Structure 1
Amino acid sequence: MKALVAGATGETGRRIVQELVKRQIPVKALVRDLDLGKQILPPEAELVVGDVLNPDSLTKAIADCTVLLCATGARPSLNPSGPYQVDYEGTKNLVNIAKTQGIEQFVLVSSLCVSQFFHPLNLFWLVLFWKKQAETYLQNSGLNYTIVRPGGLKNQDNSESILMSSEDTLFEGSIPRQKVAQVCVDSLFNSEAHNQILEIVTKPEAVKG
């Protein structure tokens, strides 16, 4: 197994890279800024420069990888096309390249509540709407996939247990990014996570295991 992580310098993506390295899984980190990647990513990660909005740059990046984990996301900005470009078009480009390269599993980090059009987060240029469109594109691609929908993301880890549920059943809650990374990497080894949507938050009273 060799993994390509898209969005590798983001807060969630960098934790996915760290989790893969921790488990001694060879990993390529897709970065737009090579210097930033060198600063924040483990030295064991192979850095490859590319952009999800530039399909030509993805072909070289994905070469010799067998799984792909996507943790990209539009940053808050005044650009109304940001979520459309990054969360939808960027993911589409990754899916299309993954199909041509025979990727065995595509793990997509999405978000809780993507099915709720009138959610307040959609005031940010329809970010949840475009994440949902990306999910649908991946589901219809024929690729083996796992879609991870975390609650509100926290940078600080905690000792709470992960509460995992099925599609459109969790609508509130939060989770540390480190635990999101763990679920994403775990899904690579769990056939029951294949072609599934996993909604995750943490709860003090969640059952461990």
Structure 2
Amino acid sequence: MKAFVAGATGQTGRRIVQHLVKRGIPVRALVRNLEAARAILPPEVELVVGDVLDPGTLAAAIADSTVVLCATGAKPGFDPTAPYRTDYEGTKNLVDAAKTKGIEQFVFVSSLCVSKFFHPLNLFFLILVWKKQAEAYLQQSGLTYTIVRPGGLKNTDDPGAVIMSQADTLFEGSIPRTQVAETCVEALFQPSARNKVVEIVAKPEAPKRSFTELFAAV
């Protein structure tokens, strides 16, 4: 297995990279700035300069990777096209490139509540709408996929066990980014994670369950 990570220098993406390295999986990371990436990512990670918005570069960037993990996302700002371009067009470009390379599994970090149009996050230029459209494109692509919809993302590693549920059943809650990263990486090792949409939050009072149990129950 060799993993290609898009969004590798983001807050969630860098944690995905770290967890892949911890599991001994070779990583090829798509970055826009080499110097910034070198300061953030582990030294053993192979860096390739590119952008999901430049589809012509992606097949070569994926190279000999066998799985893709996508943790891209539009940054808050004043560009009304950012969520459409990054969360939909960028993901679509990556899915198309993954198909041409015969990728074995595509893990996509989405968001809780993407099916709720009247969610406050859609005030940010319909960001959840475009994430949902990206999900649909991936699901229709023919690729083996796992779509991970985390609750509110936290940079702190609070104690708590992962709660995992099927699509459109969790509507509130939060989760540390480290647990999101762990869920994404573990999905690569769990046959029961394939072709599923899973929603995750973390709660201190929840019983701790293995990822084998969590994915199998969805």
Q: Flag whether TM exceeds 0.5 (same fold).
A: yes
Q: Deviations over 1:95-118 (max 9, x none)?
A: 000000000000000000000001
Report deviation, 1:207: 1.7
Query: Is residue 2:38 matched to residue 1:38?
Result: yes
Query: Structure 2 CA distance, aligned partners of 1:161 and 1:40?
Result: 27
Identify the residue that residue 115 of structure 1 maps to in structure 2.
115
Identify the residue that residue 187 of structure 1 maps to in structure 2.
187
Secondary structure in structure 2 of the residue aligned to 1:112: coil
Q: For the Cα contact (< 8 Å) 2:73–2:87, is it kept in 1?
A: yes
Give the counterpart letter for 2:3 in structure 1: A
Q: CA RMSD in A?
A: 0.5
Identify the residue that residue 128 of structure 2 maps to in structure 1.
128
Q: Deviations over 1:16-40 (max 9, x none)?
A: 0000001110000100011110000
Identify the residue that residue 178 of structure 1 maps to in structure 2.
178
Identify the residue that residue 27 of structure 1 maps to in structure 2.
27
Give the counterpart letter for 1:36 in structure 2: A
Report deviation, 1:159: 1.6
TM-score, reference length from structure 1: 0.99
Query: Structure 2 CA distance, aligned partners of 1:172 and 1:121?
Result: 13
5 Å-filtered alignment, 1:74-85, equals 74-85=74-85
Query: Structure 1 CA distance, aligned partners of 2:159 and 2:120?
Result: 29
5 Å-filtered alignment, 1:99-114, equals 99-114=99-114
Query: Is residue 2:140 matched to residue 1:146?
Result: no
Query: Structure 1 CA distance, aligned partners of 2:19 and 2:44?
Result: 12
Number of positions where the alignment pairs a residue of Structure 1 with one of Structure 2: 209
Which structure 1 residue ranges, 5 or more long, are not aligned?
A: none
Report deviation, 1:69: 0.1
Query: Structure 1 CA distance, aligned partners of 2:101 and 2:53?
Result: 18
Query: Structure 2 CA distance, aligned partners of 1:65 and 1:157?
Result: 30
